[in-house]
Amino acid sequence: MTHIGVMSSFIPTRAAGLSRLADFTPLMGRAYAQGRNTDHGPDRPQAVSMLSPWLRLRLISEQEVARAAWDNHGELAMPFIQEIVWRSYFKGYLQQRPGIWTAFQDGLRHAENRLATEGGLRRVHHDACLGQTGIDGFDAWAQELAATGWLHNHARMWFASIWIFTLRLPWELGAAFFLRHLLDADVASNTLSWRWVAGLHTKGKHYVARAENIARFTDGRFDPRGQLDEEPEPLSEAVEHKTVALPAPVAAPPGPCSLLLHDDDLGWDWMALSPAQLHAVALLEPADQTTGIGRFATAALDDAAARLGLEVRRVSEAELVDWVRGQPHPVVTPFAPVGRNADLLRGLGVVRLQRDWDRAIWPHCTRGFFPLKQRLGEILPPLLA
């Protein structure tokens, strides 16, 4: 049976994403369900797809990946499809509770101030980031993440749990560490996953890394027996994050317009815009091109420009307002979920178009994942037809 191994590099083009999708499609059924929890290590065969960097930028879409799984495996593909839906669940949940992102940013600033003033915390954080803690498995994952920009999902959970409950480091610093290095770094998935591990997303229900579990699902490569706190209390917070309404759907303007693409969505064919409509096209550059996702997205902008086949201008954050206000026609852009791009576009009067996938799933992302999972039988068929 064919397996997909960890790549030493991910190619930031739609063609590369489609190639990876085609290679993994035969494994989206029983092979994925049986092997997805085991992390065999870097450059070893894995049963997971590693499609997330391309999905993060929507060089390939959740809808086309889920459709490939369903068309080839039917019900056997549901464990895989549910993992695709998890990313959408987190986006929809955060979109309705944007205060969580604001609270994370505030918490991160507080944690960084502590690093500047608390020598002991600074040393532990330094060792954790470099993979020099002496904890079996944790150090290897820290080094793998820095070297490759990717970690198996199970390893991400173990890493976050050890960071929070064994090393006693602020979870915000760990989430920021992932945002710096992951090629699939996503505001919603990253923030809410760390909160879920900590016991903040589902109140009082935290994820505890256990040595026996790590040994079992790493094929015995790691066994940190005696090194972990396996009986920690979950974290808590006093604040209740208020919910806000989801945006009402809007239609694309019928006449001439300008198109702005950004690194939350580098697709455009789903918008039903003809090249004749487009007065101008711009690509918004990532905020930080030194991070893993920043480097990946910067290169992906070139691929997006080439596939458009039109004259394209790259605009920086500083140039964005002038470019938008200088357009003689409406500016259309893919909807930017909570995060940096949404903050930049707020108040500029751009037409934000949502994909059918998001419009169908986000309204059901009000509580935990399970209520959404129960409704996938009615939500998915129209999307996968």
At residue 2, does pLDDT exceed 80? no
Give residue-wise pLDDT tens across range 204-228: 899 999 999 999 999 999 999 999 9
At residue 248, does pLDDT exceed 80? yes
* Four-way CATH pick for 99-217: 2.120.10.30, 1.10.579.10, 2.60.40.10, 3.40.50.280: 1.10.579.10
Give residue-wise pLDDT tens across range 36-78: 999 998 878 789 999 999 999 999 999 999 999 999 999 999 9
Nearest partner of 322 among 288, 287, 282, judged by Cα: 282
Orientation angle between helical segments 171-181 and 138-148, nearest 10 degrees: 40
Distance of CA 103 to the CA centre of its chain: 19
Residue ranges per structural domain of the chain: 4-96, 99-217, 257-353
Helix, strand, coil % in the chain, rounded to nearest 5: 55, 5, 40
* C-alpha span between 282 and 299 (Å, rounded): 15
Angle CA 160–161–164, to nearest 5: 85
Q: What Å distances lie between residue 147 and 43, 143, 263, CA to CA?
A: 12, 6, 22
* Fold (topology level) of 4-96: 1.25.40
Numbers of helices and strands, H then E, in the chain: 18, 7
Q: Which two tokens stand for residue 64?
A: 């086309």
**How does DSSP classify residue 27?**
G
Fold match between domain 4-96 and domain 99-217: no
Q: What's the predicted TM-score (pTM) here?
A: 0.95
